[in-house]
């Protein structure tokens, strides 16, 4: 709360005039951030020319989202703000899960993902990857990599695993586009 007050240029007492406690403030902020994230995910899906580009948009979005976030946030939410943590987990299961499932189905329809993949299994596996990274970031980063680098690496690995030859061409195309930008 000291950091928030300092950043806003006001006293903690002034902040507490608007919020009953820190937990209420955290819950409101998480709810707002998750709503904004849902909007971004929907926009990425709508803007993308195909399923592979949608994942590249997601990679860019993940980078922007996580680069401004301290991995300790997820630990703090779990430990000190269970209601906010449940909101995050609910968002992940409901919104992110649906987004992943829709992308997998889109990629198969577009002939970019392998037709034999089991979308329900891979969708759940992808959610578990995200969950593990957010709930136990130190297991993967070991102070060598940022949470953003790990998320980018596992997302790219996931993409290579689901694409067929045509999808692999798209990966190379979008990777070249990204390096030229």
117-149 residue pLDDT tens: 999 999 999 999 888 877 776 676 667 887 788
Short-list 102, 118, 115, CA closest to 55: 102
Q: Are 32 and 92 in contact (CB under 8 A)?
A: no
Domain extents in the chain: 21-180
As a CATH number, domain 21-180 is 1.10.357.10
Short-list 40, 174, 51, 26, CA closest to 113: 51
Q: Are 107 and 52 in contact (CB under 8 A)?
A: yes
Q: Are 81 and 142 in contact (CB under 8 A)?
A: no
57-71, 89-103, 144-158, 166-180: the lowest-pLDDT one:
57-71
In whole angstroms, give the CA distance from residue 137 to residue 69. Answer: 12
């Amino acid at each position: 709360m000291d950091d928030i007050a300092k950043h806003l240029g006001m006293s903690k007492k002034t902040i507490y005039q608007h919020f009953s406690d820190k937990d209420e403030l955290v819950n409101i902020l998480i709810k707002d951030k998750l709503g904004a994230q849902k909007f971004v995910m929907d926009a990425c899906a709508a803007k993308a020319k195909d399923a592979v580009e949608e994942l590249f948009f997601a990679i860019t979005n993940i980078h922007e989202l996580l680069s401004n976030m301290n991995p300790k946030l997820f630990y703090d939410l779990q430990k000190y703000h269970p209601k906010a943590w449940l909101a995050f987990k609910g968002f992940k299961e409901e919104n992110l899960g649906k987004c992943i499932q829709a992308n997998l189905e889109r990629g198969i329809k577009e002939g970019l993902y392998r037709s034999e993949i089991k979308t329900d299994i891979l969708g759940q596996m992808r959610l578990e990857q995200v969950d593990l990274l957010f709930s136990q970031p130190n297991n993967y980063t070991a102070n060598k990599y940022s949470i953003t680098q790990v998320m980018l690496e596992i997302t790219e690995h996931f993409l290579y695993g689901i694409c067929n030859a045509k999808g692999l061409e798209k990966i190379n195309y979008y990777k070249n586009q990204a390096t030229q930008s």
